[in-house]
Structure 1
Amino acid sequence: MDLSFKVSARIAKPVAEVFEAVVNPDHLSRYFTTGGAKGRIETGATVYWDFHDFPGAFPVHVMEVEPERRIVLRWAATDCAAEAGDVQAGEAQSGSYDTTVTMTFEPLDGGTRTLVSIAEAGWRQTPEGLQASYGNCQGWMQMACAMKAWLEHGINLREGMFK
C-alpha cells in the first residue's frame, strides 16, 4: 500500500493571487506558518517553515516550480519523531528520508476561482509512517482552509491556535 493522500479546496480568487499566497513567504506567514516562513519558493531553493505546534524551522527543498500551475517540494518525513519528543522538528535523524509534496493550481469559472490540490507521498509503510501521513494530511487541509479564509475574508484561522 502506497502511503499518500490528496486534499483540495476551491478558493474564490484568481490563480495568480492564490499561487503568490503560497510562494511568497510574507503571505505564507500570514495564514499558514505560525512561526514564519523564510525564502521565496523557487526551483532549486531551500526555504524554511516554522510552526508553533512543531517548533524549529523545517527546511523545505523546492524541486520544481511551474508558475501558476504546480509546485513540487521535498521535506523530511517526521514519522512522529517530533510528536514523540525524540528530536526537534526539522532536525535530521538517523535513517531519515523525505516525502514529496505536489501542489497544483487550476483556474475555475473563467479564472475567477482556483482549485488548489495538495498531494503528499513517500512515507515508509510502517505504523509510524502511517501516523505521520495522517498528521500531514490534517496539516495540509488546515493550510488549504486557512488560505481560503485569508484570501477571501482576511481572517487568520491559525492565529492563537497552537500557542
Structure 2
Amino acid sequence: MTENENKPFAKASMLIRKPVAAVFDAIVNPDVITKFWFTHSSGPLAAGQQVTWTWGMFNLSVPVTVKTVTPHQEIVMEWGNGKDVTQVTWTFKTLEGKGTYVTVVNDGFKGNAGEVLAAVRGSTEGFTLVLAGAKAYLEHGIQLNLVADKFPEGVQ
C-alpha cells in the first residue's frame, strides 16, 4: 500500500535513536518486542512464516503471516482474523547521526464507513503507542506498559 492510493490507511512514524540493526531486531525478535507491545510470540518474524502474537493481559491472540522481510529495510505482514485481516508494512530508514526512522502503514480495512474509520483511528493510536514504547525501551531501557495501560481493567 502506498499513501498515494485512494484507500484508507493508518500510519505512525517515529525516530528511534538507535542503529537500524537494533531497531529492526526489536520488531522481528520476540525477546525484544514483548518488552513493549505484546506478551508472547510463537516465533520470530521471517518471510513465509506464520506466528501468533498474544496479549495475555487482554486474553487475545492474533495470527500474523509474514509476507516479506528485507533485513534492516522493510517487513510486510498480514494480521487479524477472518474479515478483519489487514496488511502492515514496516519501513526502516537510517538517518545518519540520528538513528532509525520507523514508519508503520496498516491498510486493507473492510466494513462500512464507520467501521473503517474506527479501525483506522484505532490502528493509528495503537501503532503510535507501539513506536513510542519501542523508543523508550530501546533508547532508555524503560518499559512504559503503554499498550496494557491503554485498556486497564475497569475501563470500557
Identify the TM-score tier after normalising by the shorter chain: 0.7 to 0.9
Could you tell me which residue of structure 1 aligns to residue 46 of structure 2? Answer: 42
1:117 equivalenced with 2:103 (yes/no): yes
1:26 equivalenced with 2:12 (yes/no): no
SS in structure 1 at match of 2:128: helix
SS in structure 1 at match of 2:64: strand
Could you tell me which residue of structure 2 aligns to residue 11 of structure 1? Answer: 16
1:55 equivalenced with 2:59 (yes/no): yes
Structure 1 CA distance, aligned partners of 2:41 and 2:110? 27
- Alpha-carbon displacement from aligned partner over 1:132-162 (angstroms, at most 9, x marks no partner): 2211111101000000000000111117624
CA contact (8 A) 2:40 2:56 kept: no
TM-score if structure 2 supplies the norm length? 0.84
User: Residues 75-94 of structure 1: matches in 2 within 5 Å?
Assistant: 75-76=79-80, 92-93=81-82
Could you tell me which residue of structure 2 aligns to residue 71 of structure 1? Answer: 75
Q: Which consecutive unaligned segments of at least 5 residues does structure 1 have?
A: 77-91
Residues 99 and 146 (structure 1 numbering): CA distance in 2 closer, same or farther, change over 3 Å? same
Q: Which consecutive unaligned segments of at least 5 residues does structure 2 have?
A: 1-5
SS in structure 1 at match of 2:136: helix
After TM superposition, give the deviation of residue 53 of structure 1 in Å: 5.7
Give the AA of the match of 2:46.
E
Structure 2 CA distance, aligned partners of 1:22 and 1:132? 22
Q: Cα RMSD over matched residues?
A: 1.8
Matched positions, count: 144
TM-score if structure 1 supplies the norm length? 0.81
After TM superposition, give the deviation of residue 66 of structure 1 in Å: 0.2
